[in-house]
Amino acid sequence: MYFKILIVICVCLSYSANGIPLESSEQDLKRYFDPRVIGGENTPEGYAPHMVAILVGDEVIQLILCGGSLVKLNLVMTAAHCLTDYEIMKEFFHGALGSNNWKTGGKRVEFQNYHIHPEWDPVLIKNDVGFISLTEKVELSEHLQLAAMNFDFVGEEASSVTGWGWVANWALTPFHLQVLEVTTLSPEDCADRVREASSVWWPNSPHVDPKIEICTLHSTGRGLCFGDSGSALMSKESGTQIGIASWAFTCALGVPDMYARISAFKDYIQSVMEQY
């Protein structure tokens, strides 16, 4: 039984948590496409009560696959690429919410259905939006709240991202939720920086589309990495969700990290939420 679990986890991490099955070598995938928070800090208790840890494994072996945000009492929003293997591995998927420590406290939940954006493109990494539903509704509390959506177009704005992803290259994932305060870039600055980074770090990287993606940047040594895909980008001003962690260059190189832009997917997000 343990061998089966380990094999399933390895397959899931190779194709979902690392990002997307791009037309690239396995080495390139590991090097260039593995979102996680590096350089963040431990969150105070009760911070980001919308956060959901999407886990894979069983009571013996559990690993963080992705983050997500609770948007309805029985619905979690995350990245589409986090769910591409759900159908064949659903018996190993489960979640944790209501606590900043995914290992202890809070509530364990089971999933029963999922939605992936109909125009999700795993090669160009576009329309990276998905949902996974819970088997039953949860009760809100001080430590468990719904994420409010922001459907306004966001330019440059102070924001933050939280997640349980790796805190250093090839390190173990933390149990305690991490937060990194970042700044969103203007569409022009985002596109220019990604174009420049592509020529140095990732010649065949996807292009950035500011209409449907939003970039953030902190500094070298602080950014997304493995395990944080699907986590919510929150506006510091309004406290609302403005993005979903999607893809990144090699961890924390001082170049932009990419998120699916919430405002670009208003119709799709609302259509799924209305079903729950």
Same fold, 2-18+49-146+267-273 and 157-264: yes
Q: Which residue has the tokens 């870039």?
A: 185
Residues 14 and 65: their CA atoms lie apart, in Å, by 10
Query: What is the pLDDT at residue 41?
Result: 57
Question: Does the domain spanning 2-18+49-146+267-273 belong to CATH 2.60.40.10?
Answer: no
Query: What is the pLDDT at residue 2?
Result: 25
Mean pLDDT confidence for 25-35: 37
> Over the range 18-29, which residues count as b (16 or more CB within 10 Å of their CB) and which as e?
bbbbbebeeeeb
Q: Regarding predicted confidence, which is higher, 159 or 101? A: 159
pLDDT tens, residue by residue, 219-267: 665 667 777 899 999 999 999 999 999 998 767 677 889 999 999 999 9
- Which amino acid is located at 217 in the chain? L
pTM of the model: 0.82
Cβ–Cβ under 8 Å, residues 242 and 233:
yes
Query: What is the pLDDT at residue 18?
Result: 35
Q: Could you please report the per-residue DSSP string of 48-116?
A: STTEEEEEEE-SS-EEEEEEEEEEETTEEEE-GGGGTTHHHHGGGEEEEESSSBSSSSSEEE-EEEEEE
- What's the DSSP call for residue 175? S
pLDDT at 97 > cutoff 70: yes
- Domain range list for the chain: 2-18+49-146+267-273, 157-264
Closest by Cα among 188, 133, 182 to 160:
182
Name the band, by pLDDT with cuts 50, 70 and 90, for residue 59. Answer: confident
Residues 177 and 82: their CA atoms lie apart, in Å, by 19
In the chain, what's the furthest Cα-to-Cα distance?
51
pLDDT at 77 > cutoff 60: yes
Tokens describing residue 144: 């468990």
Cβ–Cβ under 8 Å, residues 129 and 244:
yes
Residues 250 and 6: their CA atoms lie apart, in Å, by 26
- Which amino acid is located at 46 in the chain? G
pLDDT tens, residue by residue, 156-174: 999 999 988 755 454 556 6
Question: Mean pLDDT for the chain?
Answer: 81
Could you list the beta-strand ranges (E) of the chain.
41-42, 51-57, 62-72, 75-78, 93-97, 107-109, 111-116, 130-134, 157-163, 178-184, 213-217, 232-235, 241-248, 257-261
Percent of residues in the chain assigned helix, strand, coil, to nearest 5: 20, 35, 45
**Number of helical H runs and strand E runs in the chain:** 5, 14
As assigned by CATH, the class of the 157-264 domain is: mainly beta
Cβ–Cβ under 8 Å, residues 111 and 97:
no
CA of 228: how far to CAs of 18, 98, 155, 276, in Å?
Answer: 10, 17, 22, 25
Tokens describing residue 96: 């944790």
